[in-house]
Amino acid sequence: RMRTLESKLSGKTSEETKSLRSWQWLRRTDDPGMSALYMDRYLNFGLTEEELSSHKPIIGIAQSGSDLAPCNRYHLTLAKRVREGIRSAGGIAIEFPTHPIQESSRRPTATLDRNLSYLGLVELLHAYPFDGVVLLTGCDKTTPACLMAAATLDIPAICLNVGPMLNGYSRKDRIGSGTVLWKAREMHAAGEIDDAELLNMVTRGTPSAGHCNTMGTASTMNALAEALGMALPGSAAIPAPYRERPQVAYKTGMQIVEMVYADRKPSDIMTRQAFENALAANTAIGGSTNAPIHLNAVARHMGVPLNLDDWEQIGFHIPLLVNVQPAGKMLCEEYYRAGGLPAVMAELLDQGKLHGSALTCNGKTVKDNVQGKHSWDRETIKAYEQPMMPDAGFLHMTGNLFDSAIMKTSVISDEFRKAFLESPSNPNVFESKVAVFDGPEDYHKRIETADIDERTILVMRGTGPIGYPGAAEVVNMTAPGHLLKKGLKYSLPCIGDGRQSGTSGSPSILNASPEAAENGNLAILKDGDMLRVDLNKRKVEMLVSEEEIKSRRATLMEAGGYSLVESQTPYQDLFRRETGPLSEGMVWKRATRFQ
Ligand code: FES
Ligand code: MG
């Protein structure tokens, strides 16, 4: 089905043209009346010749930017360049809005909107005559929502990231958006800064248009879209205000038209090999703990088997190569100038850690795109043999407290290691008592008064997909002020059934399934119980006898199970009834039937 652009642009009707989805839709030879009806409103801005006679493919531009979604807002401008690229290559662009998702202000949590945006996008792409689509991505959940929809529909699709913000600074110090918040909160709790300085410090981290300038979930998911082959090579990390950003917007518009003619679909690109490439890349960049949730969700909709054991097996032994906050020092401007993802993938390719033959959106292989693109800036992107840290991937933890949870090891600091993990007799194992909080409100109420010392494990429950609809990003908890004032040098370990911000650097065991709201054993844990965490065996065990567990479970079930907060909206209610666990990507249980 390959066909050159020139012959396409000559305007002749060919068999290929007739096989275009939009052609069959709008050129109904059996019923010209219906064609006329489908076309009449579009012609308010187009021409009949333009829409029909020249047989151009119709390309959607899925617009995720708006005033409500400031991280993606610059897409309102970039879309013009996308449109010009589509037009130059002989396509017709139709821009339409997607359900906005803004990480930083959506209540109760932006993850709730990922599946809503996905559903809406699937409906639009299914229900209108698109031959292909440009997916405008950026802020954390906008990218997976788009990739999930592309997987379900399986029409030619390409991602364009809005790009990260410029670096933030306070004098000479880099201030990373998101990441600075955790630091500033600790300083605030320790009494080192007042309210005004907290606000000042945090807002300095967001100096321009674009998404977070750290390796948080936004930078991660856009890097992974590129690693999968769903965005042009080198495009993900370009800072939003750089001149290369509108340039790549134009190229992306050109590319999607070529993809339509080539019939290059998500199922040709997002293969098992592509997902394995993305898993390896995620460790090397120090990617967010939200990545397994989102990538597993995309894989499910693509019909590609992928689970948390794959994440550990493929990703754990990959080293951390990218020195960007929260795992490192730099921000995304350095990362881009150092070569961005192609430079990281060039290292992985040399070591045989990638499937070089995987096809990407531009019709070339991963190897074609990244070979030899090593970084010139070894402070920001390390050589494989001299990494920031070896074995920097996620561990897949199990045990009697939950069936499945993940732990990001690249953020374990030396201080934490000394305090918890360096017992000479048993390294990488610790036993500690817990302080248990039922959701973030309970945490804020009791953190200063609960019985917590410098070896306490903080546990957060009731914050999974059902408990706190959408799964709250709250498992990274700050230690109480009295410990911080004494000069505690590390974050206390945190465990929970919710998520953690990709910008946070605390060593945590996250996304635990089953969640407390499904009456997993997290629901019967009590303040002061002892836990044993064994990183060698990937186990988290509550040191409570079998009989005691049985009796606590009986009491819980007699009381009607773990108590749930009420849904506040009809959608929250629907979400809670129809969504699966974090370990499986938190996707619509029944939607996977359609992939
Ligand atoms: Fe949108 Fe961080 S809040 S990317
Ligand atoms: Mg986030």
Cα 229 from Cα 272, distance rounded (Å):
12
What are 123-160's pLDDT values in tens digits? 999 999 999 999 999 999 999 999 999 999 999 999 99
Judge residue 546's burial from the number of C-beta atoms within 10 Å of its C-beta, 0-12 exposed, 13-18 middle, 19 or more buried.
exposed
Cα 81 from Cα 534, distance rounded (Å):
52
Q: Peptide bond preceding 326: is omega within 30 degrees of 0, i.e. cis?
A: yes
- Cβ neighbors of 46 (< 8 A, separation 6 or more) are 92
Nearest atom within ligand 1 for CA of residue 211: 4
Q: Give 372 Cα–ligand 1 centroid separation in angstroms.
A: 32
- Residue located nearest, by CA, to atom 1 of ligand 1: 139
Q: Give 176 Cα–ligand 2 centroid separation in angstroms.
A: 13
- Whole-number pLDDT of residue 409: 82
Nearest atom within ligand 1 for CA of residue 104: 3
- pLDDT one digit per residue (tens) for the chain, 595 residues: 334 444 444 444 567 777 888 888 887 777 888 878 777 777 677 767 676 666 789 999 999 999 999 999 999 999 999 999 999 999 999 999 999 999 988 999 999 999 999 999 999 999 999 999 999 999 999 999 999 999 999 999 999 999 999 999 988 999 999 888 888 988 898 899 999 999 999 999 999 999 999 999 999 999 999 999 999 999 999 999 999 999 999 999 999 999 999 999 999 999 999 999 999 999 999 999 999 999 999 999 999 999 999 999 999 999 999 999 988 999 999 999 999 999 999 999 999 999 999 999 999 999 999 999 999 999 999 999 999 999 999 999 999 999 999 998 877 888 898 988 888 888 899 999 999 999 999 999 999 999 999 999 999 999 999 999 999 888 889 899 999 999 998 989 999 999 988 767 678 999 999 999 999 999 999 999 999 999 999 999 999 999 999 999 999 999 999 999 999 999 999 999 999 999 999 999 877 667 6
Nearest atom within ligand 1 for CA of residue 70: 1
Could you tell which of 140, 175, 501 is best to mutate to test the pocket of ligand 1, judged by most ligand atoms within 8 Å of the CB?
140
Place of tokens 């109904």: 28
Strand segments (E) across 208-299: none
- Cβ neighbors of 36 (< 8 A, separation 6 or more) are none
- Whole-number pLDDT of residue 51: 66
Please work out, in degrees rounded to the nearest 5, the angle formed at the alpha carbon of residue 426 by the alpha carbons of 536 and 394.
25
Query: In the structure encoding, which two tokens stand for residue 262, read together?
Result: 């080539």
Backbone phi, psi, residue 575, to 5°: -55, -45
Residue count of the chain: 595
User: In which element (H, E) is residue 566 found?
Assistant: none
Beta bridge partner(s), residue 532: 431, 541
| Pocket-forming residues, ligand 1, beta carbon under 6 Å | 71, 103-104, 139-140, 178, 211-212, 216, 218
User: In which element (H, E) is residue 441 found?
Assistant: helix 439-446
Q: Do 423 and 497 contact (CB within 8 A), yes or no?
A: no
Strand segments (E) across 209-323: none
Could you tell which of 64, 71, 161, 165 is best to mutate to test the pocket of ligand 1, judged by most ligand atoms within 8 Å of the CB?
71
Sign for the CA dihedral angle at 229, 230, 234, 237 comes to: negative
What are 364-382's pLDDT values in tens digits? 999 999 999 999 999 999 9
Q: Give 218 Cα–ligand 1 centroid separation in angstroms.
A: 6
- Whole-number pLDDT of residue 52: 64
Neighbours of 435 (CB within 10 A): 23
The number of helix segments (H) and strand segments (E) in the chain equals 24, 14
Closest ligand to 102 CA? Answer: 1
- Cβ neighbors of 29 (< 8 A, separation 6 or more) are none
Could you tell which of 75, 139, 179 is best to mutate to test the pocket of ligand 1, judged by most ligand atoms within 8 Å of the CB?
139
Tell me the ipTM for this assembly. 0.91
Q: Give 566 Cα–ligand 1 centroid separation in angstroms.
A: 28
Closest ligand to 101 CA? Answer: 1
Conformation bin of residue 447: beta by default, left when phi > 0, alpha when psi is -120 to 50: alpha
DSSP string, 339-388: THHHHHHHHHHHTT-S-TT-B-TTSSBHHHHHTT---S-TTTB--TTS-S
- Cβ neighbors of 51 (< 8 A, separation 6 or more) are 26, 39, 42, 43, 92
- Cβ neighbors of 197 (< 8 A, separation 6 or more) are none
Q: Give 536 Cα–ligand 1 centroid separation in angstroms.
A: 34
User: In which element (H, E) is residue 510 found?
Assistant: strand 508-513
Query: In the structure encoding, which two tokens stand for residue 172, read together?
Result: 């000479």
- Whole-number pLDDT of residue 53: 61
Backbone phi, psi, residue 124, to 5°: -65, -45
Could you tell which of 72, 104, 162 is best to mutate to test the pocket of ligand 1, judged by most ligand atoms within 8 Å of the CB?
104
Cα 253 from Cα 95, distance rounded (Å):
12
User: In which element (H, E) is residue 503 found?
Assistant: none
- Whole-number pLDDT of residue 593: 60
- Whole-number pLDDT of residue 392: 94
- Residue located nearest, by CA, to atom 2 of ligand 1: 212
- Whole-number pLDDT of residue 242: 98
Q: Do 592 and 301 contact (CB within 8 A), yes or no?
A: yes
- Whole-number pLDDT of residue 592: 66
Nearest to 95 by CA among 119, 118, 75: 75
Provide the whole-model pTM.
Answer: 0.94
Amino acid code (one letter) for 435: A
DSSP string, 114-154: HHHHHHHHHHHHHHS--SEEEEEE-STTHHHHHHHHHHHH-
